[in-house]
Structure 1
Amino acid sequence: MQSSRRQFLKTSAALGLGGAAGFMSDLHRFNAFAADTGGYRALVCVFLFGGMDCHDTVMPYDTGSYNQYASIRRELFNRYDNLDGGSTRERDRLLPLTLANASDFGGRQFALPPELGPLHDLVDGGNAAIISNVGPLVAPVTRAEYEARSAPLPPRLFSHNDQQSTWMASQPEGARFGWGGRLADIMLGASANPDATFTVISTSGNTVFLSGELAGQFEVGTGGPQDIRAISNDSYLGSNALPDLYESHLRARNESLANYLQQDYANAVGRSIDANRILSESFDLPAPFTTLFPETGLAQQLQVVARIIALREVLGVRRQVFFVATGGFDTHSNQANSIPNLHAGIAGAMRAFYDATVEMGVANDVSSFTASDFGRTLTVNRDGTDHGWGAHHFVVGGGVQGNRMYGQFPPSVLGHNQDSGNGRLIPTTSVDQFAATFGRWFGLNDTELNDALPGLSGFSDTDLGFFGGGVV
């Protein structure tokens, strides 16, 4: 029985029940927001734990730039699998991008590695874009300012835990609220959803990215919602009657509670049980799409997200934020044997997810994007790379102004104005600008964006343009 109690409390925490009373008490702080809540919109963060090597993801392709780049990375490139007599990082094996805004880069050309073929097709087809050199910033920073420490910098640079948190919440480890949760808070304050239950959903455990003052995280696994076993499994308690009795106790059905906190908690528990059942029963039915998802952890997480999105009308939601994640990107060594498989996993999962949204008719209403701790160094340590800062990321969706690269793409050489050392890129686009572009698409106005993203005030451009507005 004690073990079932622990399981229930863990599940209750995962469903955000502890924040139920806070939701009611804090609602007055948000109810003045007038965000656009029309239609349906969903954001899906695909977090790549460990720090994905941006230099090995979006590569220079014009001959001059490629040769400079390859000379720095030759030792690493020689370690890639030989297929048909050549490295998969040789120029003639890469997948060149035919960008609609290629003229913005002064004759420079770019390519993706072959393992990212499904994402390459989405970019070239106009349904995905690349955001170059994005990362945490307090304010714009040059190399000279960085070296002189004359401009404010994000704290604890190059630290995994701290930069993961800074990417998600603009503060190092210990942050309370993430920008996904903050965007959701604004939408809940504007009555986009009937309640907070299915507003922010994680398939990868508790995450600060989804943490808001109103938004409580609903956690699911790769098989869908997690049962509260003590009330859903007769054999678990050894009696047919006990599950109903235990549920009645949790809901306080036969009790008169004078304590408001106790009553609020019992009400929240009841709502969570009902919500879990709604989702569980829907997952017992066949998937509402025929798209085949790869048998990888990331793809299975995105398949669950797709199934929940399909239930948007049943759940009564108009705005949702999802978090999925995979790891393995801390490639200090053996990078040539790990990155190709990791790339293939990302590309296959995100392409299947996009195809499922097309099949369900919501491709224009769902946007997924990659994020990671940081990029990595351009220099190599024989068979790997070290922690970096700025990185290149993908945004995928039918509403994305794709077949473009946004932001400034630094030269793939050492010693340029955005090189903080060893080819660690000083970001030219901040995470706040990145988040604000999603927030505006989500329906927030300028006032609401500044409330949700306090660091946004340090930057003049608050719309990167990958949904059609702002500055490319």
Structure 2
Amino acid sequence: MALPLLAGGNTLLGNLASFQAHAADIEGYRALVCVFLFGGMDCHDTVLPFDTASYNQFVTARKTLMSTYDALPQGSSRAQNQLLALETASNPFGDRQFALPPQMNGLHSLFQQGKAAIVGNVGPLLEPTNRTTFNNRSTELPKRLFSHNDQQSTWLSFAPEGAQVGWGGRFGDAVSGANTEAVFSQISLFGSTVFLTGNSVGAYQIGTDGVPTIRVVEAAPAGVSDMLRDHFASVGSTRQSLFEQDFIDISRVSLDANDKLALATETPLDTPFPASSLGSQLRAVAETIGSRQAIGAKRQVYFVGLGGFDTHSNQAQALPGLQQTLSDAMTAFYNATEELGVADQVTTFTAADFGRTLTANGDGTDHGWGGHHFVVGGAVRGGNIYGDIPIAQLGHNQDAGNGRLIPTASVEQFAAPLGQWFGLNNQELATALPGLANFPNGALGYI
């Protein structure tokens, strides 16, 4: 994976020289891994009603889509007797029960083992909102709702497209003093992302096939690349031009970081991973976590991604395979953290543009708002559903129209337990999640 030698804005090379410690020294190792589901996964078709009354309501609300599932050659994976019931440690939903589709048997198993939790109806909010206040516009709403790019950015940074700093980056700012090699604190396997960028930390991009390279060095003829490396190592501070000096200094740091990570991640894992893009990304994350001591990392934030969730049509054909991919990859990754002996020190969570409508548009669904998400790790208070899962009907208090869920938990409430577990104190958490103060119920207690 080639990176440009010099890039502007909030990129790795634009931030290499600006890391600063903002938090007291933090002992031990902890890592957060964000699995972003691009396109907006249908939460209604992921955490499904399972008690007979609720299931029948769901089928009625989604009659055309459920008929499409029924017509599949292999039969419907959404038939009630095919679903994987969730046996929760406690049940705040009364007689209502829930299940996962059979394609998510790995995550179902982790849930039943107490290693995974579900957080219901999360999404961007500026203040608590319901159907009444949404319809009469008496609460302030996030900008550009239901837009893919803007809601991706809002989930990751609390602002629409064009935002410069994400909450994963703010977490990195707070604990940057814990890392000997700060360049390895924020690592993306899915290209550039605002999520990992802070005010003093920036994203280091790696590929599933290894560490990145610098194009001007990689593209040089045989022998010239070694000469460039030697040149960057021997000059820099002697240059009269500040541009040349910075160019060479940043390149030297980049080359040193790439070499160090390449050496540190040479030991393979025994845990098998699925041969999918997400599986490959999470394997690379696990291998990098395995090198944490060699690269001097005590706190890390990772970003990986899986696309294809914009299921306006053909949802019955597309979504089950995506769910299988997600579940298999996340399960393999958890198993790898067990192999590495860091299951209690790594927490993985899903995020997405938005959920989708309860109503079907025929054989698919439309853009929604709130959605349900998974959190996995040895430190998670698993086997429970946190937050809320509204009833599978139209017109309830959290329905913005067509079964588009108005979130009952903000992204800040979802993120706060992750930040606390990561090591942020109350002041640092308030800085990283400035909107948290607008929600009197505070953080969710899943970790």
Distance 1:7 1:86 in 2: 46
Shift of 1:459: 1.1
Alignment of 1:219-258 (within 5 A): 219-228=205-214, 231=217, 237-240=220-223, 242-251=224-233, 253=235, 256-258=238-240
Letter in 2 for 1:56: D
Q: Which of these residues, 80, 87, 93, is aligned with residue 76 of structure 2?
A: 87
Q: Which of these residues, 148, 156, 168, is aligned with residue 168 of structure 1?
A: 156
Letter in 1 for 2:133: E
1:199 counterpart residue number: 185
Shift of 1:219: 0.4
Q: 1:84 to 1:269 in 2, by over 3 A?
A: closer
Q: 1:220 to 1:7 in 2, by over 3 A?
A: closer
Comparing 89-98 with 264-273, greater Cα deviation is found at: 264-273
Letter in 1 for 2:98: F
**Structure 2 residue 358 is the aligned partner of structure 1 residue 369:** no
Please tell me whether the aligned partners of residues 94 and 111 of structure 1 are also in contact (alpha carbons under 8 angstroms): yes
Which secondary structure state, in structure 1, belongs to the residue aligned with residue 178 of structure 2? coil
Letter in 2 for 1:41: R
2:137 counterpart residue number: 149
2:127 counterpart residue number: 139
**Structure 2 residue 327 is the aligned partner of structure 1 residue 339:** no
Superposed CA RMSD: 2.0
Please tell me whether the aligned partners of residues 95 and 120 of structure 1 are also in contact (alpha carbons under 8 angstroms): yes
Distance 1:206 1:433 in 2: 25
1:470 counterpart residue number: none
Which secondary structure state, in structure 1, belongs to the residue aligned with residue 327 of structure 2? helix
Which secondary structure state, in structure 2, belongs to the residue aligned with residue 65 of structure 1? helix
Distance 2:367 2:35 in 1: 20
Distance 1:15 1:414 in 2: 44
Comparing 453-462 with 179-188, greater Cα deviation is found at: 453-462
1:270 counterpart residue number: 252
Please tell me whether the aligned partners of residues 252 and 266 of structure 1 are also in contact (alpha carbons under 8 angstroms): no
Distance 2:6 2:120 in 1: 39
Shift of 1:260: 5.5
Please tell me whether the aligned partners of residues 196 and 216 of structure 1 are also in contact (alpha carbons under 8 angstroms): no
Please tell me whether the aligned partners of residues 49 and 99 of structure 2 are also in contact (alpha carbons under 8 angstroms): yes
Q: 1:214 to 1:94 in 2, by over 3 A?
A: same
- Post-superposition Cα deviations, 1:86-112, rounded to whole Å, max 9, x if no partner, equal 41111111000000012x111210000
Shift of 1:81: 6.1
Q: 1:451 to 1:41 in 2, by over 3 A?
A: same
Distance 2:442 2:274 in 1: 36
Comparing 274-283 with 357-366, greater Cα deviation is found at: 274-283
**Structure 2 residue 437 is the aligned partner of structure 1 residue 465:** no
Shift of 1:200: 0.3
**Structure 2 residue 53 is the aligned partner of structure 1 residue 53:** no
Shift of 1:39: 0.7
Distance 2:419 2:442 in 1: 10
2:64 counterpart residue number: 75
- Post-superposition Cα deviations, 1:327-358, rounded to whole Å, max 9, x if no partner, equal 00000001000001000000000000000000
Distance 2:6 2:311 in 1: 33
Q: Which of these residues, 402, 405, 424, is aligned with residue 385 of structure 2?
A: 405
Q: Which runs of 5+ in 1 are unaligned?
A: 1-5, 468-472
Which secondary structure state, in structure 2, belongs to the residue aligned with residue 368 of structure 1? strand
Please tell me whether the aligned partners of residues 128 and 408 of structure 2 are also in contact (alpha carbons under 8 angstroms): yes
1:3 counterpart residue number: none
Which secondary structure state, in structure 1, belongs to the residue aligned with residue 140 of structure 2? coil
Letter in 2 for 1:90: A
**Structure 2 residue 19 is the aligned partner of structure 1 residue 20:** no
Q: Which of these residues, 306, 313, 337, is aligned with residue 293 of structure 2?
A: 313
- Post-superposition Cα deviations, 1:420-458, rounded to whole Å, max 9, x if no partner, equal 000000000000111111000001111110111111111
Comparing 270-279 with 157-166, greater Cα deviation is found at: 270-279
**Structure 2 residue 24 is the aligned partner of structure 1 residue 38:** no
Distance 2:59 2:236 in 1: 72
Which secondary structure state, in structure 1, belongs to the residue aligned with residue 182 of structure 2? coil
Distance 1:153 1:15 in 2: 30
Distance 2:273 2:160 in 1: 34
**Structure 2 residue 420 is the aligned partner of structure 1 residue 424:** no
Shift of 1:466: 0.8
Q: 1:96 to 1:83 in 2, by over 3 A?
A: farther
Letter in 2 for 1:219: Q
Distance 1:210 1:7 in 2: 17
Distance 1:348 1:47 in 2: 15
Percent of pairs identical after alignment? Answer: 51
Distance 1:361 1:226 in 2: 27
Distance 1:384 1:246 in 2: 54
Letter in 1 for 2:114: G
1:210 counterpart residue number: 196
1:98 counterpart residue number: 87
How many residues in Structure 1 have an aligned counterpart in Structure 2?
A: 446
Please tell me whether the aligned partners of residues 359 and 403 of structure 2 are also in contact (alpha carbons under 8 angstroms): yes
Q: 1:424 to 1:359 in 2, by over 3 A?
A: same
Letter in 2 for 1:176: Q
Shift of 1:250: 3.4
Q: 1:163 to 1:19 in 2, by over 3 A?
A: same
- Post-superposition Cα deviations, 1:218-270, rounded to whole Å, max 9, x if no partner, equal 101111212336546xxx54343x22221233345277134556544433321
Q: 1:13 to 1:85 in 2, by over 3 A?
A: closer
Q: 1:92 to 1:247 in 2, by over 3 A?
A: same
Letter in 2 for 1:375: G
Which secondary structure state, in structure 1, belongs to the residue aligned with residue 305 of structure 2? strand
Letter in 2 for 1:347: S
**Structure 2 residue 425 is the aligned partner of structure 1 residue 445:** yes
Distance 1:327 1:86 in 2: 25
Please tell me whether the aligned partners of residues 119 and 372 of structure 2 are also in contact (alpha carbons under 8 angstroms): yes
Please tell me whether the aligned partners of residues 196 and 214 of structure 1 are also in contact (alpha carbons under 8 angstroms): no
Shift of 1:463: 2.4
Letter in 2 for 1:238: P
Letter in 2 for 1:227: T
Q: Which runs of 5+ in 2 are unaligned?
A: none
Shift of 1:213: 1.2
Letter in 2 for 1:455: G
